[in-house]
Structure 1
Amino acid sequence: MRADLAAFLLGLLHRFDDLPTDAVHGFLVDLLRDPELRVRFRTGLTAFGPVDALEAMMRRAADRGEINPARITPRTVSLPLDLLRDAFLVGGVVPSNQAVDEILDDIVLPLLKAP
């Protein structure tokens, strides 16, 4: 599961490599100011978007006995994306591969494996 999550998150991060950082920051500011845009964006994340993909990966891992199925909640499913978004907002740059590793190894996987 770890390899699947890492590949997925890195793929998401690198989708924005060609976008100017200012454009991404501007979009995030627009999300804060425009409730309708925020709803549309959130719907895009959850309606067969990255959140659904993460949940499917986690459910398959639970079926294989790799993680605790009781730990799969809406908050834990979105946690990797939330942490990456926060790292981007605070750092001002796309998080590194090392940041993805730390998020998975130090936070997400221990949480999902906990009894």
Structure 2
Amino acid sequence: MVEHYYTVEERVGQLKSLASALTELIPVAELTPAAIHVDAYRQAQVTAMALQQEGFTQGQLSSLARAIPDVVDRHKDWMPPMRQSDAGRWVEEEWWGPLDEKLQRVLTLARTLQTLGYY
């Protein structure tokens, strides 16, 4: 196996992808109970764009990644937000699917910023 350490150019691309993903996430999050994290997502977007322009250290990339919150505590017994329908069945909240789709992309990109490379 060959190790690959991310180059500065790859990191800049990752930051651009993160800023773009946050741009897609923010309006979706604003319309949900996850709106409490919108300020954190906005600040992460500003930071990602600034680091592209100003340069960065691995510590700054890791700090940025850690500053991006998930909207739920995903533990082993975790379930998506549910509500009881008029028929009495438990169904997933309508807002959860679109939010989680955008959020998962952001969280994946953030995790990438915390790693040095891959095998």
TM-score normalized with structure 1 length: 0.29
Q: Which has the bigger relative contact order, CA under 8 A and spacing at least 6? A: 2
**Structure that is richer in helix per residue:** 1
**Structure that is richer in strand per residue:** 2
